[in-house]
Amino acid sequence: MVDFLDKVKQLLLQDLSSFFQWLGKLKSVFAHLAAVGDYYSLLVRWLLPVLAVIIFLWCILPLLRDRKNQTTWGYLYLMNGIRVPIQSWECMLGRGKNSDIMINQPFISRNHAVLTYHNGVWSIADLGSKGGITVNGARVEEQHRLAYGDVISLAGIEMALLPADIVPAEEGQEEQVSDNSGVVNSTGTFTLLLIFIFQLLGALQIIITRSAAVFPMLPVTVFALMLAQGLHYHVLRWLQFENLELVLLSYFLCGLNVFIVASAAPHSLYKQLVAILLGMAVFTIFSLLIRKIGRAMKLKYFLLAGALVLLVLNLTLGEIHFGAKNWINLGFITFQPMELVKVAFVLAGTATLDRLLTTRNMAAFIGFTGACMLTLVLIRDFGSAVVFFGAFVVMAFMQSGDLRSLALVLAGALFGGFAVVAFVPYVTKRFAVWGKVWQYAGTTGYQQTRTMIAAASGGLLGVGGGSGYLVNVAAADTDLVFGVLCEEWGLLIALLAVLVIVFFAVYTVIIIKSSLSSFYAIAACGAATIFLLQTALNVLGSVDILPLTGVTIPFVSNGGTSMLTSWALLAFIYSVK
Amino acid sequence: MKLLAKRALVLLVLVALLTIGLVCFVVRYFNQASTWVQYPANKHLFNNQAKLTVSGTIYDRSGQVLLEMVDGVTKYHRDKTVRTAMLHATGDTDNNIAVGAQVAFREHIIGWNLLNGVYRLQNQPNRSANLTLTLDANLCAAAYKALNGRKGAVGVYNYQTGEILCMVSAPSFDPEQPPNISHYPEKYEGVYINRLLSAVYPPGSIFKIVTAAAALENLPEDKLYHCEGKMQIGSDTVTCTGIHGDIALEQALAHSCNAAFAQIALELGDAVLQKYANLAGFNSYLVVDGIKTAVGRVDVRNAAAVDLAWAGIGQYTNTANPLNFMAFMGAIANQGVLISPRLIADNYGFFASSQKKQVLSAETAVKLGALMRNNTLSVYGEYNFKGLELCAKSGTAEVGEGKRPHAWFTGFLAREDYPLAFVVLIENGGIGSQTAASVARRVLQTAVSTGK
Ligand SMILES: [Zn+2]
């Protein structure tokens, strides 16, 4: 019996020792894995920037290509036999250079009339012309509904409105058009694939470096993100959305966002994933809703009402984070109301061409802007105040075209800005350190100097995802994301992320020519302005070209509300056409 | 939509502003990233005590390891004497020595570059971060031993290639066991200063070489000067070490006759003497792989006659930087062409290579060399420097205040196989031709016996 027990004990010991031996071997396997990981990063740090550049080019080139495939909504037959296609829902008629349909006759006013096609209804509005308008011989005072076949006379120049479907078959442009879009879509799928590869390779890099800290959140998030992107992309195609490269670029930015969150705040990966998914949904729904101008207008008033509620909520329930009282905690969810207000704010600045050329009334917009600015000043979120104000100036200019009042408003704002800098201690402090952060490297220049150190450490290719130190600095995942990108993924990718935002704005400028309504044009400009200003303040602030302000980079910074808002604003840029 | 398309151009203003900002940042990045990255808060490179945790290995010219980083800890040469002798070359771990490699060549040894940043494969320092110095560890150790605890500096460099073989500054300490400096203020006075690169001293009689160069080109060669042991200039007296009678330039230099050189300085005038002082490297610094040397000063413009006379002897307000003066010796040896000294051997194009500059005509340089050769033959004694083909000049610079004078000995070897120029300075070392010359003898004999 004792013998037997001894034997068992011996066997057990033997087994145990062999188990430990095996463990030891496993350890060396892990050591090998770590070595493999090192070589992986050696490869990936070259691969990722190349991929990023290809993705960027593959997205912007199709969008920059000159597209002539515009839908024709109706025709104006001039009495001299010329047929003019109407390719937007709002056309200005007149003698001036800015007229969409230029009629060079002495009695025609510079801006004579606006022909609109809203919600399937044609109408014409007089812009206070000298010669006046008649429809079928009857004088038009302000606005008049039109039917096909109506004869319109502008100061005696007659023309007839005819439907689009009488186009002679000989032109056959439509088929060519669909061929073109087919080509565009197939490169889109390829680009999506590249984005998947980019996200997979990057995530794997972080998983190798950080392992336990991001497991299992990061793998789950990345796979869910890829799935969602694939699904979203194909739903959009099924809904016959075009120019999806814009959406692909946003996927790319969302991927970078996941990288940053994984590195800086892995515990909030799931939250951020949900925000991205919601953002995609919001983008889709928004784009569908505002396709019709009538629905868009309803949405505008609905959102404005909601925004006013948010303003009040922010003032009463706001919580302070990093000096600004810009958070609301509803117990089950925390969010930044002023982010959401941006969407309503952009809509508030919109107007259809007939309205903005006839009434010229911006009182409501100015009032709403005032309310937003006041709230922002009260909650001490001066960075956002600059963003709102910039968007206001751009949208007001889009509406009025008045350079003189623009200059006046800017001068006033500069004055107000000086007052804020001089009398608000927390802003004064930020400005005091501006341009000499290295002298205050331990105190008020801490974040900026750490950002520059991180950026320099990364070089052009980065030290690898998860290997950075900037993520340990407070607010690195929101205010200093540019530095995090530089450090971990390299200056090239960081610059590319900024260039994507810049491209959104450039695209807006290009595409507005073929905008259907000035509603979309103004909304897109407002959204692009917000994107640009936030990016400029964030990036240039974090590297001491501008004073540091706590605003986010759209799509890239960590933050659920910011992500949702970015997608909603993108819908405005996307919907221009 | 033409109207709005036009107005939308206002967005391009914002695009331009952001782009300009980005370009500003990128330009700053390209210019300053190498500085930003060296900030001690950078955890990629420094620990919480702001000490470097990453460094390439620093080698001497024969491949001996002078400094390496093992698991974030700095290790120096295995031999204590070498560590101490080369302290000012490698720098100390606390980075008090500003011209030490750990500070001066930090950008190189941390292995940072614009493309890769601080990225390191398997956390190993990049091979490109390694640094080979032109110094010879054994020669430095010999020089440190020869100084034998006295404060001073020893430099030896190859006047054809510019490579500095020996750079020793004393006092020094073992960087692996740094002493408490504040407990011994006298012993470690100015210990963090590299006396060869960063200090200046009154030159004393070695400055007579500069005066002699001017005399060779501006006064008749067979001219005789007269020495009665002293010379009266107005109410002041310039004293000499002996009574030399009628004496030509060659003997005046060999015997370091103050009276003769005072006469030469007066005959040359302030402008000419100033010109030759500037040519010899006074009033300007040399750049040794990015390190600027201290500037020795000579200003005799509009000086009174007696001051000009003293300046010609090297005793007015003149100061000299040892390395700078050694480079002038190199120029005399090298047909008047000064090859600027350098410390870094493997050049990778990372540091600028040696600069060339003609400071004297070849003819004057050769004549001056012959005068200095004669010094050895007729005064210092060839038997002391057998086989070295030594051309030299000693100096004994009075420092006043009852202290012993600084001892100088400087010159070069006129040998094809060992084209070396050297300088030895011993603070309060006494007679240059005795104390400093004996240090030089030991260092130079080591140099020619252990290789170049
Ligand atoms: Zn004499």
Residue B348: CATH number of its domain: 3.40.710.10
Considering only A170-184, B128-142, B163-177, which range has the smallest mean pLDDT? A170-184
Asked whether residue B290 falls in the same domain as residue B424, the answer is: yes
Instruction: Give the 3-state secondary structure of residue A177.
Output: helix
- pLDDT higher than 90, residue B294: yes
- pLDDT higher than 60, residue B349: no
Asked whether residue B215 falls in the same domain as residue B360, the answer is: yes
Q: Which of B79, B99, B132 is the last residue of a domain?
A: B132
Phi-psi region of A435 (alpha: psi -120 to 50; beta: other; left: phi over 0): left
| B296-344: pLDDT as tens digits | 999 998 889 899 999 999 888 889 999 999 999 999 999 999 999 999 9
Q: Which of B83, B110, B132 is the last residue of a domain?
A: B132
Report yes or no on B151 lying in a domain: no
- Stretch B56-61: mean pLDDT, rounded? 92
In angstroms, the separation between the Cα of residue A290 and the nearest Cα of chain B is 18
A441: which chain B residues are within 8 Å (Cβ-Cβ)? 39, 41
Asked whether residue B249 falls in the same domain as residue B398, the answer is: yes
Asked whether residue B208 falls in the same domain as residue B120, the answer is: no
Phi-psi region of B298 (alpha: psi -120 to 50; beta: other; left: phi over 0): beta
Asked whether residue B341 falls in the same domain as residue B220, the answer is: yes
Asked whether residue B322 falls in the same domain as residue B436, the answer is: yes
Is residue B351 within 8 A of residue B343, CB to CB? The reply is: no
pLDDT of residue B442: 95
Report yes or no on B140 lying in a domain: no
pLDDT of residue B277: 95
Cα B228 to middle of ligand 1, angstroms: 7
Asked whether residue B200 falls in the same domain as residue B127, the answer is: no
Q: How far apart are CA A204 and CA A45, in angstroms?
A: 12
State the DSSP code for B377. I
Asked whether residue B375 falls in the same domain as residue B285, the answer is: yes
Radius of gyration of chain A (CA): 29
Q: CB neighbours (10 Å) of residue B64?
A: 17
- Nearest alpha carbon to residue B260 among B282, B234, B231: B231
Cα B225 to middle of ligand 1, angstroms: 9
Report yes or no on B118 lying in a domain: yes
Report yes or no on B388 lying in a domain: yes
Structural domain of B318: 196-449
Measure CA A561 to chain center.
13
Cα B320–B325–B327 angle (5° rounding)?
150
Average pLDDT over chain B reads 91
Is residue A507 within 8 A of residue A573, CB to CB? The reply is: yes
Asked whether residue B123 falls in the same domain as residue B215, the answer is: no
State the DSSP code for B134. S
Asked whether residue B267 falls in the same domain as residue B383, the answer is: yes
| B189-230: pLDDT as tens digits | 999 999 999 999 999 999 999 999 999 999 998 899 999 988
**B1–A457: do the CB atoms touch at under 8 Å?**
no
Report yes or no on B420 lying in a domain: yes
Asked whether residue B118 falls in the same domain as residue B235, the answer is: no
- Stretch B354-372: mean pLDDT, rounded? 92
Residues lower than pLDDT 50 in chain A: 169-185
* Residue B130 near chain A (CB below 8 Å): no
- pLDDT higher than 50, residue B281: yes
| A377-407: pLDDT as tens digits | 888 888 899 999 999 999 999 988 888 888 8
Residue A85 burial by Cβ neighbours in a 10 Å radius (0-12, 13-18, 19+) = middle
**A508–B8: do the CB atoms touch at under 8 Å?**
yes
Q: Which of B132, B158, B174 is the last residue of a domain?
A: B132
Helix (H) / strand (E) element for A143: namely strand A143-146
B9: which chain A residues are within 8 Å (Cβ-Cβ)? 509
Asked whether residue B437 falls in the same domain as residue B291, the answer is: yes
- pLDDT higher than 80, residue B351: no
Is residue A439 within 8 A of residue A22, CB to CB? The reply is: no
**Helix %, strand %, coil % for chain A, to 5?**
65, 10, 25
Q: Max Cα separation, chain B?
A: 105
B1: which chain A residues are within 8 Å (Cβ-Cβ)? 88, 90, 100, 353, 512-515, 518, 521
Report yes or no on B400 lying in a domain: yes
* Residue B13 near chain A (CB below 8 Å): no
Report yes or no on B48 lying in a domain: no
Chain A, nearest residue to B122 by Cα: A38
- Nearest alpha carbon to residue B212 among B326, B325, B312: B312
| B390-408: pLDDT as tens digits | 999 999 998 888 899 999 9
State the DSSP code for B280. T
Residue A188 burial by Cβ neighbours in a 10 Å radius (0-12, 13-18, 19+) = buried
Give the count of Cβ contacts less than 8 A between chain A and B.
164
Query: What is the domain count for chain B?
Result: 2
B32 vs A34: which has the higher pLDDT = B32
Backbone φ, ψ for residue B345 (5° rounding): -85, -55
Report yes or no on B267 lying in a domain: yes
**B2–A38: do the CB atoms touch at under 8 Å?**
no
